[in-house]
Amino acid sequence: MAKKSYARDVMKMFAGVILAIVAVIGLTYGSVLREMQQGMEEYKQGDPEAALQHYDAAEARLRSYGALGVIPQKDRQNLILNQARLLYSMKRFDEAAERLERENELPGLNSDGRFMLLRGEIAFRKAVTNYQESPKKDPRLLEEALLAAEDSLRDSLRMSPDDWDAKYNYEFIQYVRNLMSQNDDGKIKILMENVRVKETQPKPLPPDQQS
């Protein structure tokens, strides 16, 4: 009888520990969601820098618990994507691209067409900025950058065939490259100085409100 009583006590203790762990995880993730909600509010008030700080804090908290890789894939995708969108909206293109590279650290992110769409938009915007700021309008450098953007947009369409922003931008880049093949520098310059692409708007929503 003593052995059975001891076994029951051990099982109760084990169950209590498990429940405590679950409770801590729940409280931690709840605080992460609240942090992201605050980021959304900051963005709505026109302060993307403050919004990004909240998103970075949410990621740091998850990483401190080693939980970034175990939260639902959809939430993880949205967290990293929204950070990159905010950086993109602030024209911090290199940082936005670096943030997207975090998909290589975690499973599941590289199957999301939204990542490839934003990566293509970043590559295109960098190409436009470099072209506009360069005293020498080198079409070869422009074409190389446009090819990188086109490749990302093609991958985005492969993953999300019905994404109209990706379709529009992919066709626009193809149109520019077609002009380049015709050596029509005048039209290219006009297009690059007056870009008309459809851009992904930052949507820093908390994970449970993302579509």
Q: How confident is the model at residue 28 (pLDDT cuts 50, 70, 90)?
A: low
146-186, pLDDT tens digit by residue? 899 999 999 999 998 988 888 988 988 888 888 777 766 66
Q: How confident is the model at residue 207 (pLDDT cuts 50, 70, 90)?
A: very low
Q: How confident is the model at residue 64 (pLDDT cuts 50, 70, 90)?
A: confident
Q: Does position 87 have pLDDT exceeding 60, yes or no?
A: yes
Q: What is the pLDDT at residue 86? A: 92
| Among 6-20, 46-60, 143-157, 188-202, the least confident range | 6-20
Q: Does position 30 have pLDDT exceeding 70, yes or no?
A: yes
| Among 61-70, 79-88, 89-98, the least confident range | 61-70
DSSP3 helix / strand / coil % (the chain, rounded to 5): 80, 0, 20
- pTM here is 0.73
Please answer whether residues 67 and 59 qualify as being in contact, where contact means their C-beta atoms are separated by less than 8 angstroms.
no
CATH 1.20.140 fits 2-92, yes or no: no
Select the more confidently predicted residue: 76 or 90: 90
Domain ranges of the chain: 2-92, 113-193
